[in-house]
Structure 1
Amino acid sequence: MEELADGLAEAYEAHLAALGEPGAAARAAIAEFGDAEVITAAFVRDSPWRRTAVALLATGPIMALLWGLTLISARMWTWPIAPALRITYGLALAATVLTLLSVVREKRAYRRTQATTLAAAIALILLDAGMLTAAVANLSPWPLALATSASLIRVTLTVRALPPLLRHR
C-alpha cells in the first residue's frame, strides 16, 4: 500500500509539473492508476488473508477424507457423545467453510476479508482441537495417527500464519 501511495504521489507530482493545475493533475494521476474500486479489488484478490482462506479451503477435502475414514473405522456412531454436540460441530464446520468461501468470493471489502479470515482460522483451530480431543479417547491407532497428524499440521500452520497476517492490518 505504501508503494501504491508513493506511486500515486509521484504520478500526481509529474502531472502537476506538466499540467500546472492541481485538480487536473489529481484526475490524471487517478486515471493512470485506476479508480478506487479497481485498486481495492486488486488488493483483496492478492491479500494474504485471501490466500490463507484459499489454503484452508484446500485442506478441507483432505481433512474430510482422513477424518471420515478414521471416524468410520472407529465406529464413531457408538461413541458416548450427545447428538446435539455432533450436530453443533457439523453446523460450526459448515459455517466455517461458508465463511471461508465468502472470503474467496469477496471483491471489495479488504478489512472484512481480514476479520472474516481471522474468525474462520480461529474456528478451524478450535474445531480441529475439538476433534482431536474427542478422537484421542475413542479411536484405534492407525487411522488416528493419520488424522491427528493432519489436524496438528493444519493447526500449527494456521497458528504460524496468523502473526504475519495480523501485521497486514
Structure 2
Amino acid sequence: MKKYTLLLITFLICQFSYGQDLPGSKIINANLNINLTTLNSDYINNYNQVQASILYGKVKENNKYLAFGGTFNYLNQSNGQYEIGPAVQFGKFLPIIEKLYLAPYIGGSVLVQAGNVSGLSVQASASPLRFMYHLKTHFLLTASFGSANMNFQTNDLYTAFNLNAALSNNAAFGVFYTFK
C-alpha cells in the first residue's frame, strides 16, 4: 500500500509541476509580521509591533538576481517608534537537478529611527542553505536550513550589536512568485 501511495504522489507531482526558464523572471518578496500583545501591568500597557518589507528584482541570464525595496517597522510600547529605510537582497540559483536549485542569498537594510527616540539601525542576513523547487510556471517552493543575522542599532538611549548564526534541523518554508 505504501508503494502505491508513493507512486500516486509522485505521479501527481509530475503532472502538476512544470517549470519556466528563470532568466528574465521578475521576483517579488514581501513580508508582513504583526504582533499585538496586551499586558496587565502597571508599567507597560501594550506592546504592538508591525513589520513590513517588500523587495523587487529580476533574474539575470546567469541565474543571479538583485532585488531592491524597503522596510517599515512600527513599535508601540507606551510611545510610537518608527523605522523606515531601503533594503537589498542578492542571490543566485545554482541548479542541482532539473527544477531543484540551491539558492543562497545575502541581504540587508539601513533603517532610520523616528519617534520619541531617534537613531539608526543596520541589518544584514544570509542563508547559505536555501533550496528552491520550481513547482509550477510561477511558483517556487523554498526551504531554508540555516541562517546568519547581524543587527547594529544606535539611538539616543543605547547602542546594541547582535550577531546570530544557526544551522538548524528544522526548516523555514516559503513560496516565491515569479512573473515575466
Normalised by the shorter chain, which TM-score bucket?
A: under 0.3
Higher RCO structure (Cα 8 Å, ≥6 apart): 1
Comparing both structures, which one devotes a greater share of its residues to strand?
2
Give 1 or 2: higher helix fraction. 1
> Could you tell me the TM-score, scaled by structure 2's length?
0.26
Q: Which of the pair has more CA radius of gyration?
A: 1
TM-score if structure 1 supplies the norm length?
0.27
